[in-house]
Amino acid sequence: MGKDLERKLDDVYENYKEGNITRRDFVKFLGITGASLGIAGGPFGLVNKAFSGGKSITCHSWGGTTSEALRKFAFDPFTKATGIEVIDAAFTGMDAFLTQVKASIPPGGEFNIAHLSAVYDYARYTDLGFGVALDESKIPNLANVMTKMTSTLKSISKGTLSAVPYDLGQTGIAYNTEKISKEKAEKLGASLLFDKELKGKLGSWGGDFRTNMWYAALHTGQSPNDIKDVKAVWDALAEQRGLIKKYWASGSELMSLLANGDIYATVAWSGRVAALQEQGHPIGYLAPDGTYSWMEYMYVLKGTDLEVAQKLLNFMLEPDAAIAVAKGQNYPTSLDPTKVPMPDEVKKLPAFDPTGKLDGYLFADPAYWNSHQIDWAEKWDRVMAG
């Protein structure tokens, strides 16, 4: 019976390390198991490890190649250097994760760092009171991060930071260079996505109203963060509906449609375009002025040990670590290339800006988009359904 419990404890501990079980539930299980084994104060390894006071921190991210890059080039080296364990876990979905954070007591107590994307999520978590005020003096490598990225976040959290920008991406336009010339793509810009000559060969991301409205706004000559003629945007999207071959639902579906030649042009995540280009597919990348740009950042949640978090974040911003992660996940690092030399593998990534100023990179205004989310999301679903 004792051996069975020990094996069960091993299984539970592995799930705890992977982020599938909260620390609170793990500790409860230890109490029950330890009492059953008669070793609550004894030498049993995992019980000692759980109650030894050894420091650890949990980071939730996107899974797949992103989590693999973080583990290999940031988390494991950090643990080796400091002895602090980094438990990496994958999101089950952004809304589901936020629900988990809301249910945690205290807020963020069981969730430490979240690899969030887009500034409207930064605003959402901050407005809910889940943020912290990081001590920037304890994260000296922040000085190498592109100023526009840090200032954008600070403008939301009233001058302080609850996160450090970590990588940069865009939802730009991917196009088949064998079917569409570079000259035509650059001439049309955002209007390439509404080109009637491409009827039946266009795609778009069905899961996000913002992206579709964003490019409809550019197509109709408007600022995506301040749309004056909303009717013109919806009319453009309704007309585009008849040109669309497929609204894709995932990054893998996006890549498949482009690689197989099922579609010739679509909005696309810059990292997925980089992956297609690496594989040798004839896919170009277009980033017209006002391209939908976003940053991913490491958001520190309320209740987290700031000493540990700041130490980890500074380590992750070390050039060797940040650049290695960037190459591993196909998104440029947040480090300013005018301050930190970048290898060719990073320079060639879509969304890379050699100036470090991010001129022409437009981030979504969180107050504007969040205030319209319910109404516009519902309307987008109706348009997409035809």
Per-residue pLDDT at 94? 79
- Torsional sign, CA 131, 136, 138, 140: positive
Asked if residue 65 and residue 132 are part of one domain, the reply reads yes
Task: State whether 191 and 255 are in the same domain.
Answer: yes
| CATH code at position 320 | 3.40.190.10
Asked if residue 380 and residue 259 are part of one domain, the reply reads yes
pTM: 0.78
Residues 125 and 173 in one domain: no
Is 190:215 a contact under the CB 8 Å cutoff?
Answer: yes
CB atoms within 10 A of CB 371: 11
Looking at the structure of the chain, the number of domains it has is 3
Do 268 and 317 belong to one domain? no
Helix (H, G, I), strand (E, B) or coil at 247: strand
Q: Are residues 229 and 204 in the same domain?
A: yes
Buried b (16+ CB within 10 A) or exposed e, 304-328: beeebbbbbbbbbbbeebbbbbbbb
Closest by Cα among 245, 258, 256 to 180? 258
241 and 164 in a single domain? The answer is no
Q: What is the pLDDT of residue 20?
A: 57
98 and 153 share one domain = yes
For residues 137 and 177, state if they share a domain.
Answer: no
* Residue 301 near residue 130, CB atoms below 8 Å: yes
Which range marks the domain in which residue 27 is found?
Answer: 2-51
Measure the CA–CA gap between 129 and 122, rounded to whole angstroms: 11
Domain match, 257 and 374 both: yes
- Do residues 160 and 180 share a domain? no
The pLDDT, as a whole number, for residue 13 is 54
Residues 249 and 377 in one domain: yes
User: Low-confidence residues of the chain, pLDDT below 50?
Assistant: 1-2, 5-6, 27-28, 30-31, 33-53
